[in-house]
Amino acid sequence: MRTRKDERLATSRAIVVSLPGSDLAATMVDISRTGCKIEVDTDRVGVGSTVVIEMSGETIASGEIVWLAQQECGVAFHRQISAEQVDRVAAVIG
């Protein structure tokens, strides 16, 4: 069983998930230094897709979709983000 290295912080942030050729509105459910869970139209994404996560016009991270389940998916970031960035993203609910 795989264990998480980093604590995930709950959030409910409106984000944009950018894929080659399209941008999708989504909601970030939680975030850690190494990835996040998002709610998105999973018919438009697939495991292995490379995505860029943006919030308020700022790029948070790029990563790869590693799992899909109903309307949620998990994104593993290509590079860890800072703990401060995680706190900033998770700080505002809504």
pLDDT value at position 18? 95
- The verdict on residue 38 lying in a domain is yes
Tell me how many domains the chain contains. 1
Give the span between the Cα atoms of 52 and 62, in whole angstroms. Answer: 4
What pTM did the predictor assign?
Answer: 0.89
CA neighbor of 28 nearest in space, from 1, 3, 61: 61
Mean pLDDT per 10-residue segment, the chain (94 residues): 68 93 95 96 91 93 96 96 91 60
Structure tokens at 34: 């190494």
Look up the CATH number of the domain holding residue 83.
2.40.10.220
pLDDT value at position 62? 97
